[in-house]
Amino acid sequence: MRNHFLAGASALALLVACSTTGPNAGQSPTPGDSTLVTRTDSIARDSAGAMNRTDSAAAAVRRTRDSILNAARTSVDTAATAARTTVDSIAGNLTTSIQVRSTTGRDLGTLTVTEVAQALSFSGTLRGLPPGLHGVHVHMAGRCDAPAFTSAGDHWNPTGKQHGTENARGPHLGDMSNLTVGADSSASVLVVTRGGTLRGTTNGLMDGDGASFVVHATADDYRTDPSGSSGDRIACGVLGGK
């Protein structure tokens, strides 16, 4: 009987052991499962932190870019303003205007005189001149006393040459191309001297007595000294002087 009791106790012990150590005993998580969850949470937190740092860095880059662009635009605007001021200042020193009048004192128009590369250009529109070709020259004195305009003096000739571009001993610095006046008595003027400056110390026209722009009655032949056989002076404009 004692043997039967021992056998029963052994069976009971074996049953209890199986129920507490089997694969589904109590359905409690294994240590490996807990570690994995913890690591996943940690990775998620690290990823969120990295995203925040990336967003912050991107915002800083945008702010820096905007700051650089604004500074560049300001610098460009400042440089452009300075350049315009310089150009305006230079243009003011290298440009002037003259009023051209007839022998009776009638206003024929205004010409702009511009210094370009050691030469002078005269540009603008004149109205009220006789149609045809007319000699135009710079004369050495800034006086236009009507009606003959002889007060303007001789051609501007600081280099001591003879008159005319077709003269082997010419030309005067004040010699220019003929002016064409249309049937409506108007002319678009664009003539250039062979040299000179407006306010320069060498060959400057706007000195103490100035100079004059003179239109003659007939065409300049570009070779006959002293005025190209261009006839009487029919219009005059003062450049400096009186």
Q: Give me the residue label for tokens 């128009």.
A: 109
Sign of CA dihedral 156, 158, 160, 163: negative
User: Which of 101, 134, 155, 194 does the annotation list as catalytic?
Assistant: 155
Is 172 a known active-site residue? yes
User: Which of 134, 175, 194, 220 does the annotation list as catalytic?
Assistant: 175
How far CA 90 is from CA of 13, 177, 190, 194, in Å, comes to 115, 27, 21, 21
Is 155 a known active-site residue? yes
User: Which of 137, 143, 194, 220 does the annotation list as catalytic?
Assistant: 137
Residue 13's beta-bridge partner residues? Answer: none
DSSP letter assigned to residue 23: T
Structure tokens at 135: 């000699």
User: Which of 101, 139, 143, 194 does the annotation list as catalytic?
Assistant: 139
Residue 75 phi, psi (nearest 5): -65, -40
Is 134 a known active-site residue? no
Kindly report the three-state secondary structure assignment for every residue of 219-236. Answer: CCCCCCCCCCCCCCEEEE
User: Which of 143, 172, 194, 220 does the annotation list as catalytic?
Assistant: 172
User: Which of 134, 143, 194, 233 does the annotation list as catalytic?
Assistant: 233
Residue 206 CB neighbours (<10 A) = 18
Is 216 a known active-site residue? yes
User: Which of 101, 143, 163, 194 does the annotation list as catalytic?
Assistant: 163
Is 4 a known active-site residue? no
**Which ranges of the chain does DSSP label H, i.e. alpha helix?**
2-21, 31-94
Is 175 a known active-site residue? yes
Enzyme catalytic residues: 137, 139, 155, 163, 172, 175, 216, 233
